[in-house]
Amino acid sequence: MSSDKDVKTKVLSLLEDSRPDKDVKTEVLTLDAGLLEGGGQVIRNCIGLSCLLNKPVKLLNARAKRKDPGLKPQHASGLKLMQDLYQAELQGGNIGSQEIYFKPNGVNTSDTFIADTQTAGSITLLIQISLPALLFSAPPPKKKLFLPPRSKKVILKGGTTVIASPPIDFLIEVFKPIVEREFGLHFNINVVGRGYYPQGKGEVVLRVDPIVERTLKPLNLVDRGEITKVRGRVTIANKSKQIGKRMATAASEVLTEAALPELENIQFDIEINSEKINAGKGLIRLWAETSTGCIISGNDISNKKETPEEVGKNAAEKFIRNIKHGGCVDEHLQDQLIIFMALAESRSKLVSGPITLHTRTAIHFIETMSGAKFHIKKLDSSESLVNIQDNSLDWDEGMYLIECEGIGLMVSE
C-alpha cells in the first residue's frame, strides 16, 4: 500500500509533466549542419543561440562539406568554451566529431574563461562563437539592489592570422566599430601576441560588457555615402620588411590601375608595421572609410604558394570587388551581422553586395532556431527572394536589401 508521501510525490510528478511549457524547454532541436555552406559557421551560430535561448540542440553532419569533415581544434575549443560559459552538457565535442549534442544549463557566474586551441586554430572564430553569448551572460538584475554586471574576460590562444578566416585585425578595425555603434554593445580585443600557421602561439584577451534590461538596437546600414579615406597596412616580421614593401607596392599598383571613380582624388598610403613574428609570415589589409561610417575592406595573408606581389595583388582585388558592388559592408562582415540582427529589437536593415553562401547559411539556421524573420530583396528588382536555399538564383551579382524582424532578446528579472 502506498503511503501518503508516495501519493503526494506521484501527484507532484504528474503536475510537473503536465506543464504546457515543459516539452518546449526540454525538446532537442535536431538540425542537419551539412546544409548550404556546410561549414563551421553553422556550429558557431547554432551553439550560440542554444545558449541564449536555452534550447538543447543536436547537430548532424558537422562541417560535412569540408575536405576534412568534422570538428577541427578551433571548433572543439569553441564548444568547450561555450560549455564552460553556460555549464552545458556536451557530447561529441572532440576533434573529428560530426555529431554534436549541446544542452545549456544556465550562465556560469565566473568572470574569467580560457580557450586554447593548442594549434594555429583561428582565434577570430572563437570570438565569433562566444561574443553573442557573452553579451547576454549577466545574471538577471535584482530590482532592489541593481549593480552594473561585471565584465567577462576570455583568454584565447591559437592563430590570429590564418587562412580561411578573417584576421584578428578585421575584427578590431572593421567588425568592432560597426557592431558597437549600430547595435549599442561594448567589448574590447587586446592582441597580446600574434600567431601564424602552423605554430600558432598567438594570444588575445577578449573583454565583454554584458547588457541587462535592454535590447540590442536595430541595425540601419542602408547608405554607403562617399568614401573619405583609404588606409592600408602590412604586418610583417622585422626581418622581412622588404617582403612587406613588395606586397604594398603591388597592392598600390593594382589600386592605381583600377581607376575607380569612388577613389578619385582619395590619397592612400600603405604602412609597413614590423613585429616580432615568424619570418616570412605577413598580412596585408586595405580598408575604406565612408562619410556615413561604413568600413569596406580586403586582405590577404602571405603563404608559400604565392609571391609577395601576388599576395598584395590579391588583397587589392578583394578590396576593389567590395568597393565596386556599392553595398555598405564587405563580404566578411556581411554574414557576421546576421545573428546580431536576429537578436536586436524591431526591424534591422542592411544594404549589401552579392549575398554570400555564408550569409544565406546564417539566415537559414538563425531563422530556424530563433524565430527571427529575414527578407531579402534585390535592389534592381521588385521580387523578394524568400528561398535562400535556391542555388539556381543569381546571388553573385547586384545589390541587396536584407531586412530582419528581430526577437529583441533581453536579460531581465
- Is 59 annotated to bind a ligand? Reply is no
Residue 375 among the catalytic residues: no
Cell of 281: 609570415
- Is 332 annotated to bind a ligand? Reply is yes
- Is 128 annotated to bind a ligand? Reply is yes
CA dist., res. 325 & res. 288, Å (int): 14
Q: What letter represents residue 88's amino acid?
A: A
The Cβ of residue 126 has, within 10 Å, a number of other Cβ atoms equal to 26
Q: Which residues pair with 227 in a beta bridge?
A: 290
CA dist., res. 374 & res. 366, Å (int): 9
380 CB-near residues (< 8 Å, 6+ apart):
398, 399
CA dist., res. 246 & res. 320, Å (int): 19
Q: Which residues pair with 200 in a beta bridge?
A: 196
The DSSP code for 240 is G
- Phi and psi torsions of 376, nearest 5°: -120, 135
- Taking a C-beta distance cutoff of 8 angstroms, is the pair 170, 330 a contact? no
- Taking a C-beta distance cutoff of 8 angstroms, is the pair 348, 178 a contact? no
- Is 75 annotated to bind a ligand? Reply is no
Distances (CA, A) of 318 to 30, 214, 235, 369: 37, 38, 18, 32
Distances (CA, A) of 96 to 68, 71, 163, 166: 8, 5, 20, 23
Distances (CA, A) of 79 to 20, 70, 155, 168, 342: 31, 13, 15, 20, 21
- Is 389 annotated to bind a ligand? Reply is no
Helix axes 241-258, 308-324, angle to 10 degrees: 40
CA dist., res. 222 & res. 372, Å (int): 20
- Is 333 annotated to bind a ligand? Reply is yes
Which position among 75, 325, 358, 364 bears the catalytic label?
A: 358
- Taking a C-beta distance cutoff of 8 angstroms, is the pair 179, 211 a contact? no
CA dist., res. 150 & res. 147, Å (int): 9
Cell of 192: 597580446
Return the active site residues. 358
Residues in the annotated binding site for ATP: 128, 332-336
Residues in the annotated binding site: 128, 332-336
